Amino acid sequence: MYFNSSVLSVCVLAVLDTEIPIDDSPVLGLLKDVFLPISPRFSSLMVEDENGVKHWKKVEVKLEDHIAMEKLPHNRPLWNIHIIKYPTSNAAGNLIFKLHRSLGDGYSLMADLLSCLQRADSPSVPLTFPTLTSAPNPNLSVGGTSIFRNIPKVLRSAFNTVSDFGWSLMKSSYVEDDISLIRSGNPGVEFKLVLISTMTFSLDDIKQIKTKLRVTINVVITGIIFLGTRLYMQEGRNKSTNEHSTALVLLNTKAIREYKSVKEIHKPYAEKAIAKYIYNTIKNSSMTLSNMIGLVERMALANHPIKSLYFMVAGEPKSLTITMISYMGKLKVAFKTEKDSIDPEKLKSSIQTVFEMILKAAHDIA
């Protein structure tokens, strides 16, 4: 509800590039028979009771009312779909889902969409995600001897947690990043025109870097993005590095839902205050970064094979948002940049330069 208020209104865009031209009939049938039953919120409205408390109300959904609308009307469930039938340089057609953030967290919404897909080669076989493996920790011992060696590490982690939490409170209230090539600081930046572009990396190359450097894939990806962004800023400011910039990394906190919220959080004034806190936290930082694990096999939506896919967050007060998702051995990186403020092609070129530099360095490691 905090993302659907007078302070903040955020949507998630999911873009599917199809390999063949799009036929409306099977797509609309899938929306009715598969998409709508996934979540009751897809066929509900957010309404207020006499006490000002918002809740979801079930309504009848007319699919034709949700096709290719410019904005999400509040008298219908908060989602729509754009069907682009003409070919582009990347696909024969495009399906763009626009889902309001109040329908669920971004990870849940993307999971809902992925559950609508089937394997292109064998629809009856379940889709699979990459296997997550973690290396054993040599510092842990069954006998308990090595556990005491970890006490300083635990204390450092606790200190860093408290320190980071305090800094986040300051960031949402007082401390803003400097104006830079990736942060315009324009008032109402969430209403400015934006450009969305993408680039693709090989997961095999990223895994090779991961293995050689003995780090995680997330470390490799974020390192490439951050260093590439810094290179873009240096080249644009005559190699100046004086700007103070921070990134807001969005994490999946789904497990936290198990905790019960206090009653105060449901009061209307608290809702607006929390929305304002979220708004300021996003506005005061320079960039937002989010990634999620995609699927291994080629997918199809209503018998339309999917060539590639990506997602993006829209409506947040940010000049630069970067999202990543894996699919069929590739990592698709999407950029949402404020028009006339950030040059997306130069930014992508800087990130590509850093990627090639790190990959070459990894090759040189014995």
**Is the distance from CB of 321 to CB of 336 less than 8 angstroms?**
yes
Q: Is the pTM of this model over 0.85?
A: no
> What is residue 280's three-state secondary structure?
helix
pLDDT of residue 156: 80
Distance CA 130, CA 273 (A): 39
pLDDT of residue 193: 93
pLDDT of residue 334: 97
Report the alpha-carbon angle 317-319-325, nearest 5: 95
| DSSP tag of 129 | P
pLDDT of residue 255: 44
pLDDT of residue 4: 61
pLDDT of residue 71: 66
Instruction: Give me the average pLDDT of each 10-residue run along the chain (366 residues).
Output: 68 93 88 88 84 83 77 78 88 91 80 86 80 52 57 79 74 80 91 94 95 91 95 76 78 46 44 75 89 88 93 92 94 96 96 96 84
**Is the distance from CB of 312 to CB of 334 less than 8 angstroms?**
yes
What is the residue-wise DSSP string for 321-355?
EEEEEEETTEEEEEEEEETTT--HHHHHHHHHHHH
Backbone angles phi, psi at 307, to 5 degrees: -80, -45
As separate numbers, helices (DSSP H) first and strands (DSSP E) second, the chain gives 8, 13
pLDDT of residue 160: 79
Domains of the chain by residue range: 11-364
pLDDT of residue 177: 87
> What is residue 229's three-state secondary structure?
helix
* CA atoms in the 13 A half-sphere facing the CB of 210: 15
pLDDT of residue 91: 92
pLDDT of residue 281: 82
Pairing of strands 247-249, 287-295: parallel
